[in-house]
Structure 1
Amino acid sequence: MANQLDPYAALRYKEFNIFLLARFAMVFAWSMQFIVIEWQVYSMTKDPWSLGIIGLMEVIPAVSTALFAGHIVDQKEKRNLLVKCILGFSVISLGLFCLSEPTLVADFSTTTVLYSIYFLVFLGGVVRAFLGPTIFSLIALIVPKKIYPNAATWSSTTWQMASVLGPALAGFSISWIGVHWSMCLIFGFSLIAMICVLRISRKPIMNPKIGEPVLQSLREGLQFVFRSKAVFGALTLDMIAVLFGGAVALLPIFAQDILQVGAEGFGVLRAAPAVGAAITMIGSTRFPVHKNAGKKLLWAVFGFGVSIIVFGFSTSFWLSVFALFASGALDGVSMVIRQTILQLKTPDHMRGRVASVNSMFVGSSNELGAFESGATAKLMGTVTAVVFGGCMTLLTVGVTAFASPTFRKLDLQKDVEEHESSE
């Protein structure tokens, strides 16, 4: 069967291919929806603070329910749980589709429509708290342990490819068919994801502690993360980098007011980081990053910070595109290493809870970073806010490299070989 040296090892399993298609459709819809919402809200308010509120409305439920969601994921069957997550997203997309129809909201004030959008974004945060841990846990039930690193790479690559096309299409579709029908397209992709997931068979529940008290379960998950230096170090580094390097949240301002490139230019800017990340991840299927993973992660995050600073100072559209492309390529290295660490270091019965902590650290830091970017842009100006975020990222890398020599010397080659020999 497939082995670790085979770059297509995970793709030789039919259900994993179906899973990738479902994940692509779901991430495509989600990333496209977020961009359309950003554009609509900023067009309504012309206020950077409103972009920060979007991030805050999603991060509050995502963080507050994450640990509980991880406990539920570890206790329940994963395929059906993923179906319910997609169903929840579809309902939210349908609500946003209705809110973007002028004739349906003609009698509503701008404030009412705005708050309704925020409310649906809030519900989306609840859905996302369950979605991430469910997907992470399901991967381990579809492919054997010996190809976890390869499966994690392909899953992350699929996520990035969807993140390339979703924002790019969002920018063009806003220009071509408007916000309302862009929302309809998003709803259609959520249905495609649902059809794909229904073709995956139900999976066994791997948790030997079914019915375990919630608090005891949550404490066990947290203790595992904080005691594992590799897991905790990777999550912390990525969280701080994403939190302070979240320049993409301010792209509507750059596109409309600074670079003045309109909706189509906005789509190009928003897609550039994901294009870079996707190329990096595809390359990592042939050139694994297990060796000297700690040093590679530190250098990748350092380069990410430099790219964000260049983007902040740039007044040239194509230099801005290149800086964002570079930031995405380096972030792709970070993501592959982090996902590999999580897949290799996490016991099967704790995957939901560990993935929930991951979503609290990294996933939610995207939205919290959007809030931070919106707030700092309001206080100190858009360009200064972006440059400040990049500088904070560089500072974080320096502190981590100095304070944690164990993480700096992290190497995953031995873990990969152990998983291969266990099969």
Structure 2
Amino acid sequence: MLISRAFTILMIYRVAITVSYQIFTVAVGWHIFELTQDVMALGLIGLAEVIPYFCCALFAGHAVDVLPKKKIALFGCAVYALMGAVMLWVATGDFQQNWLKPAWLMYFSIGLAGIARAVVRPIYQVLFAQALERSQYSRGTAVGTSVFQMAQIGGPAFGGVLIAWSGLVSAYLSVVVFALIGVMALLAFRYQEEVSKPSADSIWVSIVEGLKFVFGRQVMLAAMALDMFAVLFGGAVSMLPAYVSEILSGHPEALGLLRAAPAVGSTLVGLWLARRPLDQYAGRWLLAAVAGFGLSAIGFGVSTTFVMAALSLLFMGVFDGISVIIRSTIMQLLTPDNMRGRVSAINGIFIGSSNEIGALESGIAASWLGLSTSIVFGGVVTLLVVMASWFLAPKLRYLNMRDLQSDAAR
């Protein structure tokens, strides 16, 4: 049974911090574009988040492996609350006679989001492994992904409605509230704490050990690299504020709904895969899913109506959901308990940071090629990445999940 007290509380925690982050991203994206009317300003959101993420991720992974897990998770929630509080100050403050510029504080708050994500990503993977038995990982990953995507549906939609009806102040206040809900869920989470004994090796030796582990396993490395390049070039969500404003002439509600559309697709496929895991031909399913993601991005790039854009984003979510579940299951099955923090941090650098770098790439491409052309270009590059992976990673192409359970895929 997946429904245990620990697993349920862990899902509440994940929903809370995900909704907090999603409302923040919708609100700050709309806020910045409203002030600047510049797609490059949207691209800089990704850069402002990924720099602190890169700087902190590997150290956060090491800390997760050797320090009390709950305290680290609580720190992540506190940073989420702080970034919401900073933006609340920006939305309510008068900066006309102040040396502080609103844009500086906005990008500082976005940087805090990068720090928080560097902590939250690996700590969730560790707590997930504590809440479930190994035999439940595949189905648990599907359930967890569905819950995560439901939060990604509710968060952006709720954020867009708050901005339209109550303004940015209410949206930023809700960021803080949901972060505090995450704190309460963590305080209720009970599990057997297993803190590793301090090693005589330095932090750098520990980090290098994690890197060697990942780079020494072709299936794990290929799955990470495939998703990294696909998200880097195929991600179109970061341009949604500009797309809604320039192409659809829409409002914050449209932004929230379109932002939620990929999560709807991921949720639906996650619920399906919770009952029917893709254990056989998992590698081919992964490659096909990323190809479908690229084709959907192309469809979004040529969209001129809300319905067409929403359907394209919905299918992007479906294919991304398949990819995430397969990749996450690979990570959980291959990683020993004492290295989950470091491996998850490395995976976060591959996958999580590519979202932010992709946002910067999308901003630059949109300013050079135009908004629609840049999105189509990213989808085409994603298809080329899939073709390259098909030939360069044969172990991934022929992967079955049972191979991982027997440690045959190395």
Using the size of structure 1 for normalisation, the TM-score is: 0.93
State how 1:3-18 maps to structure 2 within 5 Å.
9-11=1-3, 13-18=4-9
Written as runs of structure 1 = structure 2, the 5 A alignment for 1:198-277 is 198-201=187-190, 203-205=192-194, 207=196, 210-277=199-266
Structure 2 residue aligned with 1:89 = 80
Residue ranges of structure 2 left out of the alignment (5+ in a row): none
- 1:400 Cα deviation from its structure 2 partner: 0.4
Q: Secondary structure at the match of 1:37?
A: helix
Which of 183, 189, 200 is the matching residue for 2:178? 189
**Aligned amino acid, residue 107 of structure 1:** Q
CA deviation vs aligned residue, 1:266-286 (integer Å, no higher than 9, x gap): 111111111001111111101
Query: Could you give the per-residue CA deviations for residues 129-177 of structure 1, whole angstroms, max 9, x where no partner exists?
Result: 1111111111111222221222222222211111111111111111111
Structure 2 Cα separation of the partners of residues 380 and 40 of structure 1 = 24
Measured in 1, the distance between the counterparts of 2:370 and 2:226 equals 26
The 8 Å contact of residues 19 and 154 in structure 2, kept in 1 or not, is answered as yes
> Contact 1:207–1:348 at 8 Å: present in 2 too?
no
The equivalent position to 1:21 in structure 2, one of 12, 18, 24, is: 12
Give the equivalent residue in structure 2 for 1:72: 63
Contact 1:74 1:205 in 2 (8 A): no
Which amino acid in structure 1 is aligned with residue 46 of structure 2? G
Instruction: State how 1:298-337 maps to structure 2 within 5 Å.
Output: 298-337=287-326
Aligned length: 407
Spell out, residue by residue over 1:333-375, the C-alpha distance to the aligned partner (whole angstroms, 9 max, x if none): 0000011000000010000000000110001111111111011
Is the 1:79–1:201 Cα contact (8 Å) retained in structure 2? no
Q: Classify the secondary structure of the residue corresponding to 2:97.
A: coil
Cα distance in 2 for partners of 1:98, 1:211 equals: 44
Task: State which of 278, 291, 295 in structure 1 corresponds to 2:280.
Answer: 291
Q: 2:165 is matched by which residue type in structure 1?
A: W
Equivalent residue, structure 2, for 1:134: 123
Aligned match for 1:410, one of 394, 399, 404: 399
Whether the 8 Å CA contact 2:62–2:206 is kept in 1: the answer is yes
* Preserved contact between residue 247 and residue 386 of structure 1 (Cα < 8 Å): yes
Counterpart Cα distance in 2 of 1:357 and 1:414: 23
SS of equivalent residue, structure 1 residue 65: helix
- State the alpha-carbon separation in 1 of the partners of residues 279 and 191 from structure 2: 32
Hey, what does 1:30 align to over in structure 2? 21
2: CA distance between counterparts of 1:190 and 1:403? 42
Q: Displacement, 1:416?
A: 4.8
* Structure-1 separation of matches of 2:191 and 2:259: 36
Evaluate the alpha carbon distance shift between residue 112 and residue 242 of structure 1 in structure 2; reply closer, same or farther with a 3 A threshold.
same
C-alpha contact (below 8 Å) 2:131/2:191 kept by paired residues = no
Taking only aligned residues, the RMSD between alpha carbons, in angstroms, comes to: 1.5
1:233–1:179 CA distance, 2 compared to 1 (3 A): same
Q: Distance in 2 between matches of 1:123 and 1:329?
A: 30
| 1:354 corresponds to 2:343 | yes
| 1:280 correspondence with 2:263 | no
Secondary structure (helix, strand or coil) at the match of 1:290 reads coil
Deviation at 1:195, TM superposition (A): 0.5
How far apart are residue 208 of structure 1 and its match?
5.8
Among the aligned pairs, what percent are the same residue?
A: 36
Kept in 2: contact 1:246–1:389 (CA 8 A): yes
- Stretch of structure 1 that moved more, 406-415 or 214-223: 406-415
3-state DSSP of counterpart to 2:149: helix
SS at match of 1:10: coil
Q: Which residue of 1 aligns with 2:36?
A: 45
Q: How far apart, in 2, do the equivalents of 1:16 and 1:210 lie?
A: 30
Q: Is the 8 A contact 2:20 2:80 kept in 1?
A: no
* Deviation by residue 1:59-87 (Cα, 9 ceiling, x = unmatched): 01111221111111111111121011101
- C-alpha spacing 1:379/1:290, structure 2 compared with 1 (3 Å): same
Which stretch shows the higher mean deviation, 386-395 or 205-214?
205-214
The answer on whether the counterparts of 1:78 and 1:202 sit within 8 Å (CA) in structure 2 is: no
Change (3 A) 1:108 1:277: farther
Matched-pair contact (CA < 8 Å) for 2:139–2:273: no
Matched, 1:148 2:140: no
Residue type of the alignment partner of 1:220: E
- Give CA-to-partner distance per residue, 1:172-212, whole Å, 9 cap, x none: 11111111111111211111111111001354235466453
Name whichever of 378-387 and 324-333 sits farther off: 378-387
CA distance in 1, matches of 2:224, 2:384: 16
Offset of residue 126 of structure 1: 1.5
Q: CA deviation at 1:258?
A: 0.6
- 1:204 and 1:317 map into 2 onto residues whose CA distance is 49
Within the candidate set 366, 370, 373, 1:381 is matched to 370
Mapped to 2, the partners of 1:94 and 1:211 lie a distance apart of 40
Matches of 1:236 and 1:104, distance apart in 2: 45
Deviates more, 1:43-52 or 1:120-129: 120-129
